[in-house]
Amino acid sequence: MSNTVHDSALGKSVIGSAVYDPALLFPIPRASGRDALGLASPLAFHGVDIWNAYELSWLNTRGKPCVAMAEFRVPASTPNLIESKSFKLYLNSLNAMRYADFETVQRLLSSDLSKAAGGDVAVVLSELEASPTTTIQSLDGCSIDRLDIDIENYGPPRAGLLGAAVDVKPVEESLVSNLLKSNCPVTGQPDWASVQIRYVGAPIDRAGLLRYLVSYRNHDDFHEQCVERIFRDIHEQCQPEQLTVSARYTRRGGLDINPWRSNVAGLVVGNPRLARQ
């Protein structure tokens, strides 16, 4: 007997809410992932998880739907990250609720997300009509994806693949790859990303870096923890004076997540939109 689409996991209902429900947000302590990586406190980096939401709607006081895009900035210093599926369900719980204006929704989102993350989460809502046309950009830097090399390891991540020419004059450069892929530890779905490595220090072996990034291909972890692992491994194996790791993940369920980590004091990383976003 052949299977039909009704026999699959496709289209099965998820547990959400028809009314506003901040309890849908599921915080996950960052400490568990950081302890597994051996990251000591105080952390050797700072950074932000930048979320972009494209599926956000509610009703005005007369029942007419409003739509918006949103940018959320969750500091890496907050004790919790927020599981992405719970984030989507929470945003959807606003669909049938009535609010006076954009500012009211923005304050509500900031309050709920800050409570879940355990620290201040900045929220900016944009009206579609008032939003400037978004220009598709590329990450600045030299792409390492065209290197003609053999690759055999697709997981787990191997820090030993990384190396730097310590006997060569230090350089300042940005290296970029669009080949980062890992898997969501909750759903098992693939997470695709572009990554930028900006550093000052001994020249990083590009072939080794590409092999290392590809070694995440079968790895299960959250976006934020993948970026922190990459930062740790490059910092330990290559010992750059300055290091910033930024990842731009493709959108899933109307959300994309874009963590960055850096040891450059005072650095602020922008929020460009890439071709796959």
DSSP 8-state symbol, 10: T
> In which domain, by residue range, is 22 found?
18-126
Residues 160 and 260 reside in one and the same domain: yes
> 52 near 14, Cβ under 8 Å?
no
Residues 94 and 154 reside in one and the same domain: no
Structure pTM?
0.93
The predicted-structure confidence for 29-41, as pLDDT tens digits, reads as follows 999 999 999 998 9
Domain C-terminal end among 84, 106, 126:
126
The predicted-structure confidence for 187-232, as pLDDT tens digits, reads as follows 899 999 999 999 999 999 999 999 999 999 999 999 999 999 999 9
Instruction: Specify the CATH number for the domain of residue 90.
Output: 3.30.1130.10
Residues 75 and 155 reside in one and the same domain: no
Give me the pLDDT at residue 4, please: 42
Q: What is the mean pLDDT of residues 7-28?
A: 77
DSSP track, 99-146: -S-HHHHHHHHHHHHHHHHTS--EEEEE-TTTSPPPPEE--SSEE-TT
Residues 220 and 110 reside in one and the same domain: no
Rounded-to-integer distance, Cα 260 and Cα 251, Å: 17
Domain C-terminal end among 105, 126, 147:
126
Give me the pLDDT at residue 17, please: 79
Catalytic residues: 184, 191
Residues 189 and 214 reside in one and the same domain: yes
Listing from the earlier edge strand, what are the strands of the sheet with 122-126? 122-126, 65-75, 46-59, 255-262, 242-249, 190-201, 171-183, 142-143
The predicted-structure confidence for 257-271, as pLDDT tens digits, reads as follows 999 999 999 999 999
Q: Judge whether residue 140 has pLDDT over 60.
A: yes
Residues 23 and 67 reside in one and the same domain: yes
Give me the pLDDT at residue 10, please: 45
The predicted-structure confidence for 66-109, as pLDDT tens digits, reads as follows 999 999 999 999 999 999 999 999 999 999 999 999 999 999 99
Q: How confident is the model at residue 13 (pLDDT cuts 50, 70, 90)?
A: low
Domain count, the chain: 2
Residues 143 and 254 reside in one and the same domain: yes
Q: What is the mean pLDDT of residues 164-188?
A: 95
Domain C-terminal end among 95, 126, 157:
126
Q: How confident is the model at residue 129 (pLDDT cuts 50, 70, 90)?
A: confident
Rounded-to-integer distance, Cα 61 and Cα 66, Å: 10
Rounded-to-integer distance, Cα 228 and Cα 2, Å: 45
Residues 234 and 182 reside in one and the same domain: yes
Q: Is the residue at 230 inside a domain?
A: yes
Q: Is the residue at 131 inside a domain?
A: no
Residues 234 and 168 reside in one and the same domain: yes
Give me the pLDDT at residue 222, please: 95
Q: How confident is the model at residue 132 (pLDDT cuts 50, 70, 90)?
A: low
Q: Is the residue at 171 inside a domain?
A: yes
Residues 180 and 67 reside in one and the same domain: no
Q: Which contacts (CB < 8 Å, 24+ apart) does range 185-188 have?
A: 185/220, 185/221, 185/222, 186/83, 186/85, 187/85, 188/220
